[in-house]
Amino acid sequence: MVEEKSDSKSTEKILALLERPEMEEAVANLAELLIAMNESGLLDLLKVLADRGVLESLMKYLMTPDFLRMADKLDKYVHVLEESGEILITEEKARTGIGGLLKAMRDPDVQVGLTKLIKLLKFLGTVKEQ
């Protein structure tokens, strides 16, 4: 029971919206969308998501510290994948022999890359052991 009601602005707002001329078309569109969603089963899916804890299960699946950390850096991963992917799919004409390898080793970026590769190999080794 509400002892001292404040003015119901919601009803006024709804009535004002209903009076707007574009409302007729919007409602017709919404009705068509609802029919299509119902026929495709999307409405049932939304009902399940809203009422039956599927959302909770989905959250439990996604909300892990590892997933959150990964999602947090997704833009960085995409950048790395895109850049390295471009190198991988581009035809490479240059050939590198032992001499070229030794020369490349003097490049600080290659040195850092090698350190990262070793770190990655070390981690992959741990995964194998697990």
Partner 1 sequence: MNGEKVLVVGGGAGGLLVSNLLVGDGREVTLVTNNPEHYFQPANLFIAFKGESPESYKRSVESLLDPKVRLILDKLSKLDLGNRTALTERGKRLEYDYVIVAAGARMDYNSLPGMKENFEMFGDYYSSPEAAVKVWNTVSRMKNGKLIIGVPDLIIKCPPAPHKGVFLAAEFFKKEKRDVTVELLYPSPHIYTEAELAKTIESKMKSFSNIEYRTSFLIDSVDKDRKVVIGMNGEEIKYDALVLIPFHKGPEIDVNPAEARDDDGFIKVDKRKLNITSYDDAFAIGDCNNAPTSKTGVAAHLGAFVVWKRINGRNAEYSGRTNCPLITDDEAIFVISDYDHKPVGQRFSRLKRLMEDLFVAMYFPSLRYPRKFEPIFDVYFNATEPNILGEKGW
Which residue ranges make up the site for partner 1 (CB under 8 A)? 1-6, 8-10, 53, 55-56, 59-60, 63-65, 68-69, 71-75
Q: At what angle do helices 54-62 and 42-51 cross, to 10 degrees?
A: 80
φ, ψ of residue 90 to 5 degrees: the values are: -85, 135
Compare residues 13 and 103 and give the one whose CB is closer to partner 1. Answer: 13
* Closer of 72 and 109 to partner 1 (Cβ): 72
Task: Give the whole-angstrom CA distance, residue 90 versus residue 109.
Answer: 20
Choice between 31 and 59, CB closer to partner 1: 59
Which residues lie below 8 Å from residue 15, measured CB to CB, with a gap of 6+? Answer: none
- Provide CB contacts within 8 A for 58, sequence distance 6+: 49
Least distance to partner 1 from the beta carbon of 60, Å? 5
Q: Nearest approach, Cβ of 47 to partner 1 (angstroms)?
A: 14
Measured between alpha carbons, how far is residue 92 from residues 30, 87, 105, 128 in Å? 54, 8, 19, 32
Shortest gap between Cβ of 127 and partner 1 (angstroms)?
17
The single residue listed with the structure tokens 């007729």 is: 24
Nearer to partner 1, 73 or 103 (CB): 73
- Distance in Å, CB of 15 to partner 1, minimum: 16
